[in-house]
Structure 1
């Protein structure tokens, strides 16, 4: 298959590309503005070529190509998508705090950027469009979160992701584009050294000899999913027949408090590293955060044939080891 992956130099993108390269037989075009991940992150995974963005023709011919560009650039997106069999749209403004600080930028990246990709997919007759969403569109609710719940976003980030889901549904219903939206849980794993998500942040701060900062009382809950399971779900979403227009929760169907996560990580860090003193402090709650969050993944199991395999303990241990080995 010919894959077009936006945000491919980022955390999830590099994990997905590594999986595709290991499997072999794929041509991959990465589209990234290098605002988070960079060329060095992609180089860590695979060799690649970098064709001239002004003279693109057809899909990727080499195993991996990198196009440096912004998803808000409609013309470049249209040219870059040509020849792709599947689009995996990972590029996004991905933080709740950032969306609160600059909601206009959040809208432009997540809503307008997704619209540009869908238009490119439609005009280039791409076979499948996989959209990376999250649980944020749901907002505050009584979990577990499932696909039939009404959405009431609490932060601009959730609203912009909901807009993306809505446009995916509309482009399937109106234009027949095979779109699949995946609501990721809290993703962690290797290659997350530059991530601000809680697992990566805790590991990085501990290894720097800094205290672990927990927002509020730490009793807020999340559903943590390892990249081993997540990338498998993305590949199924890209290839499984007869799932156009569908939405899936991709998480682990388990609820973990941030306090419990911190305690688990402290124990694992002490076992796996030379650290013997790791302190935890509580700070002010963060604006826009929901209190409880975990997902019912039964639809993904029934329709995609996907279930998570990695336990949180094993996943955290592997992630700590990846930071130790320099594969951050």
Structure 2
């Protein structure tokens, strides 16, 4: 298959690239503005060719791995990069509640208009499948477990922008026959997450630096933490399983973990792997955060034949080992 991965220099994109290169037989094109991931990050996975924005060059899929530097807000270049792909994995986004609260306009512009540009590129290029990376944020403050049929009530601008992206995916499936698949990721952690500001990566970096960890609020808020390798398998299946166009799936572990409990398990892993004794304190509650969040993943099991297989303890140990070594 020919794969186009927006935001492919990021840690989820690179993990998918590793998966595809290990399997062999694929041609992979990364479309990234290098605002988070870098050429060096991509080169750490494999040698790659960097393509220009010339149409003739973009029309030729001859490399196992290639990079096109560009932004999803550039509609013309986005469409040119997509042309010829069998599947588009749309990972590029402004991520996180905090940044969206600080700058809702920027969050909307990238996550809504950027996603619309990707969908238009898929429509015009007649791409077979487009997988959209979403999250539980569109569902918002509701009694978990979260599932696909819940009405959306986003509690942050980030959730609202991701909900808009999901809506456009549905519209392009019904109006233009673009086979969109929406994946609502749980809280993803794993190897390669050195540039992420999410709780696991942040806490590992702080602990290794000898800093005290700070949990927003009292630590009773819950999340569904999914290991990177399990998530990548879900992305692969969403791009390749037949008959799931137009569908939305919760991709998580169906396990509710409070942040205080996660932190204790993480400190155990840091102690075991790095020999470091770290401590944590409670800080102020963060605006826009959801108190409880975990997912019912039975639809993904039934339609994608997918379940998360990695325990939280094993996943945290693997992640800490990556940061240490």
In structure 2, the residue matched to 1:2 is 2
Q: Cα offset for 1:91?
A: 0.3
Give matches, 1:1-328, under 5 Å.
1-55=1-55, 56-275=57-276, 277-325=277-325
Deviations 1:206-250 (A, max 9, x none): 001111110010110000000110000000000000111000000
Unpaired stretches in structure 1, ≥5 consecutive residues: none
Contact residue 29 and residue 59 of structure 1 kept, 8 A: no
Aligned equivalents of 2:250 and 2:51: distance in 1? Answer: 36
Deviations 1:115-165 (A, max 9, x none): 000000000000000000000000101000000000010000000000000
Aligned equivalents of 1:10 and 1:285: distance in 2? Answer: 28
Q: Find the residue that maps to 2:3 and give its secondary structure.
A: strand
Q: Cα offset for 1:324?
A: 1.3
Aligned equivalents of 1:198 and 1:250: distance in 2? Answer: 18
Aligned equivalents of 1:31 and 1:68: distance in 2? Answer: 6
The alignment covers a number of residue pairs equal to: 324
Aligned equivalents of 2:62 and 2:5: distance in 1? Answer: 15
Alignment RMSD (CA, Å)? 0.8
Contact residue 4 and residue 29 of structure 1 kept, 8 A: yes
Unpaired stretches in structure 2, ≥5 consecutive residues: none
Deviations 1:163-195 (A, max 9, x none): 000000000001111000000000000000110
Deviations 1:244-263 (A, max 9, x none): 10000000000000000110
Contact residue 216 and residue 282 of structure 1 kept, 8 A: yes
Q: Cα offset for 1:59?
A: 4.8
The normalised TM-score by structure 1 is 0.98
Aligned equivalents of 2:97 and 2:61: distance in 1? Answer: 34
The normalised TM-score by structure 2 is 0.99
Q: Cα offset for 1:314?
A: 0.4
Aligned equivalents of 2:301 and 2:265: distance in 1? Answer: 28
